Amino acid sequence: MSKSPPRDDDFSLDTQPSGPPSSGPPAYVFPPGSDKLEGEALIAISPKDLAWTHRSGASLADALIMMVDDEELNIEMTQAFLQEAGYVNFTSQSDSRRAIDRMRERPPAVLLLDLSMPHVSGMDILDSMRADRQLRHIPVIVLTSTIEPQVKLQALAAGAMDFLSKPVDPSELALRLRNTLSASAYRDFLAQHDPLTGLPNRVAYRKFATEVLDRSSRSGQPGALVHVGVDKLGPLNDALGRSIGDQILQRLAKRLASSVETEVGGELSTSIHQPALFRFDGDEFAVVLPHVESQALAAGFISKVLEEATISFNRAGIDVFATCSVGIAMFPHDGAEAGDLMNKASLAMKKAKEGGSNNYGFFSPTINDAAAKRLNVAAELRRAFAHQQIDLRLEPRLDAGTSRVVAAEAVLFWQRSEGAPIFGDELLDLAGATDVGRALAEWSIEQVLKVVENWRRKGVECVPVRMAISIEQISAVEVLELMRGALKYGHEAKFFILEWQHMPAPEAMRQRELEAITELARLGFATALGRFGHGESSLAWLGRLPLSQVRLDAMLLRDFERGPKFALLFEAAIAFIQRLGMTCVVSGVTNLQQLVVLRRAGAAQYQGPVVDQPLTANAFAFKRLVMKSKPII
């Protein structure tokens, strides 16, 4: 019996600190609960807490403070003031001509700069710093005896953060310096941390991974980059709102941090580096494992991650359940450059997601080649659609008993300049991975409407036309508006079959989407569930949607020949659908033996190469509706 995932209802995520922390532990992104984290190294703290820590001054004592002044006495006095305030790290330069080079050699945390100096003025140094990518973000406090307002404004406009007049009051200098360093540290924190989870972000991830890989190249110690992605976070955001998605990410950050923390100092560590967690991008987190001797060792860690990353909680009466999938890239086996390995781990994670939820996989060259090929094909598809090189074609669907044409299946067809054509479900899946998916979905609906209108105008005996609609590319609400418009222009609902594909889990479906599908059925459109048995199709949809048809995925028919168990599954699926009062359609029929099998199992309709290849609308009308050509029987 599988263990139910632990629930997280014992703490709230809405608390955000509004002032300095108490004397206890810092307030976490996740307020402390029964499963709070114990260590400090990997606990995600909020940016506000970090700012208050910096304002206390204790964490700033080691900041490198640079002083540039042509008067050595001024430098000595300023340093003495700051040493009394607790600062210990100083560097100075009395020759302003050497100031920029000195900062490049050892960039300071803050620069105390005099304006009136021979050779190179303080204003010139400010201008040079702002033009230098390495130095432009160093905060500058100007110290000068000049009291003219115009000079002060000019210095601030040139990038100075603060301005103090000489002679400097020691207390004011210490206060201004502390505030400047706190603001700079807070800015640096925000630049390298994710505001939602408080975890180090992609910038910090790349920097740390580079350090670990450099060390690995010298020591020969192998390791791994591990990417963890939430399964189907997009549909969950659409159905339940982005705030729920954010809570899932926050909870996952906490659980992953706990898993990683337990590995610190263990066999996945080196003498220099410990395992570390980062927020990579979107629904994706990353873990650097500095020392992994084998895939088996990595798999042990991944198994723990998959268990910990299963999330279940209730919000406002809604049960939320989420799982994760994991991809792993090993170094040096899969590469030794940070950017390349990060990409490979991400590819492995996406490939794992394709295999189903709560899954994991290691990177392989096959994955890389397939991803590159898919990327190239997707780019080709964008160009093909832009240049009107996509066609709408029709496949005949036959009655299993009489072999008469009872419907036409509209399929998108792309004859590539090189390689075999891509059409039907394969093209629909490919379009979903590009930014033309929505436009292509709208275009295909418009083309089907034109085909039916043309048939009726020419007096051709019409049959219903099935349109495959991916819920990931166009919403049911948008389809409802399009089909309402079609009815207003004289179309009849009986000539259209709306086949829904890529449906999310029922609990992740927005109520208005369900209402739109129900309204389409009420208007008289036949509604169907497509590719049943493929991927994560849910039995629950058969009871929740007003369906009149279900099309079995071709995989079920292909698997029939693998053994009695698969044959029983195929026959049971058909019987189940028919018992629910729905028409069962079998797709992808390629030979006579399969035709005999589906008839014996009781399927009502079928389509596939055994009948015909996709035809143009005119060819379909002539061959199948006018001449009524028979398929091979």
For residues 174 and 259, state if they share a domain: no
Q: How far apart are CA 181 and CA 310, in angstroms?
A: 41
Poorest-confidence range of 52-61, 105-114, 282-291, 483-492? 52-61
DSSP 8-state symbol, 203 = H
- 431: which residues sit within 8 A by CB, 6+ positions away? 381, 412, 437, 440, 441, 470, 473
For residues 423 and 514, state if they share a domain: yes
Q: Which of the pair, 519 or 45, is modelled with greater confidence?
A: 519
Q: Which of 196, 199, 281, 201 is nearest to 242 (CA)?
A: 196
pLDDT at 629 over 90: no
Question: Bridge-partner residues for 319, per DSSP?
Answer: 314
User: Residue 154's domain is classified under what CATH number?
Assistant: 3.40.50.2300
275 lies in a domain?
yes
pLDDT at 421: 86
135 lies in a domain?
yes
pLDDT tens per residue, range 497-514: 999 988 876 666 778 888
For residues 353 and 310, state if they share a domain: yes
270 lies in a domain?
yes
pLDDT tens per residue, range 200-247: 999 999 999 999 999 999 998 999 999 999 988 888 887 778 888 888
What average pLDDT does the chain have? 82
pLDDT at 306: 86
355 lies in a domain?
yes
296 lies in a domain?
yes
User: Residue 208's domain is classified under what CATH number?
Assistant: 3.30.70.270
| 149-157 and 122-130 helices, crossing angle to 10° | 20
Is the torsion defined by CA of 405, 410, 411, 414 positive or negative? positive
Strongest mean pLDDT among 150-154, 199-203, 361-365: 199-203
pLDDT at 372: 65
- Domain boundary residue among 192, 212, 230? 192
Cβ 309 vs Cβ 358: under 8 Å: no
Poorest-confidence range of 53-57, 394-398, 447-451? 53-57
Cβ 261 vs Cβ 291: under 8 Å: no
- Domain boundary residue among 148, 168, 192? 192
pLDDT at 586: 94
The model's confidence at residue 477, banded by pLDDT at 50, 70 and 90, is: very high
- Counting beta carbons within 10 angstroms of the beta carbon of residue 158, is it exposed (0 to 12), middle (13 to 18) or buried (19 or more)? middle
pLDDT tens per residue, range 1-32: 334 444 444 333 333 333 333 333 232 233 22
Structure-token pair, residue 306: 């998959």
Cβ 70 vs Cβ 94: under 8 Å: yes
Q: How far apart are CA 308 and CA 306, in angstroms?
A: 6
- Domain boundary residue among 348, 363, 378? 363
The model's confidence at residue 41, banded by pLDDT at 50, 70 and 90, is: very low
Each residue of 105-142: b (16+ CB within 10 Å) or e? eeebbbbbbbbebeebebbbbbeebeeeeebeebbbbb
For residues 346 and 394, state if they share a domain: no
Poorest-confidence range of 96-100, 173-177, 294-298, 625-629? 625-629
pLDDT at 561: 74
Q: Which of the pair, 226 or 358, is modelled with greater confidence?
A: 226
466 lies in a domain?
yes
pLDDT at 370: 66
326 lies in a domain?
yes
pLDDT tens per residue, range 311-351: 887 777 777 788 899 999 999 989 999 999 999 999 999 98
Q: How far is CA 168 from the centre of its chain?
A: 52
What secondary structure does DSSP assign to 371-424, as a single string?
Answer: HHHHHHHHHHHHHHHHTT-EEEEEEEEEETTT--EEEEEEEEEE--SSSS-EET
Q: How far apart are CA 495 and CA 452, in angstroms?
A: 8
pLDDT at 536: 53
pLDDT tens per residue, range 518-571: 999 999 999 999 988 865 566 777 888 899 999 998 888 888 777 788 888 889
- Return left, alpha or beta for 220; rule: phi > 0 is left, psi -120 to 50 is alpha, else beta: left
pLDDT > 70: percent of the chain: 86
- 126: which residues sit within 8 A by CB, 6+ positions away? 113, 140, 155, 158, 159, 160
For residues 449 and 550, state if they share a domain: yes
Structure-token pair, residue 215: 């060390």
For residues 169 and 205, state if they share a domain: no
The three-class DSSP label of residue 153 is helix
pLDDT at 78 over 80: yes
Q: How far apart are CA 189 and CA 195, in angstroms?
A: 10
pLDDT at 494: 95
pLDDT at 155 over 50: yes
Helix residue spans in 233-364 (DSSP H): 233-240, 242-261, 295-308, 338-354
For residues 515 and 601, state if they share a domain: yes
The model's confidence at residue 150, banded by pLDDT at 50, 70 and 90, is: confident
Structure-token pair, residue 201: 């972000």
CA distances from 611 to 397, 554, 616 (A): 8, 14, 15
DSSP 8-state symbol, 348 = H
Residue 518 carries which side chain, given as an amino acid letter? T
Cβ 246 vs Cβ 311: under 8 Å: no
For residues 142 and 204, state if they share a domain: no
The three-class DSSP label of residue 583 is strand
CA distances from 478 to 232, 411, 447, 522 (A): 22, 20, 16, 16
For residues 558 and 532, state if they share a domain: yes
Q: How many residues does the chain have?
A: 633
For residues 532 and 404, state if they share a domain: yes
Range of the domain at 582: 389-626
pLDDT tens per residue, range 265-291: 888 888 889 999 999 988 999 999 999
User: Residue 504's domain is classified under what CATH number?
Assistant: 3.20.20.450
For residues 331 and 438, state if they share a domain: no
Give me the number of domains the chain comprises: 3
For residues 590 and 515, state if they share a domain: yes
384 lies in a domain?
no
Q: For the chain, how many helices (H) and strands (E)? A: 21, 21
pLDDT at 84 over 80: yes
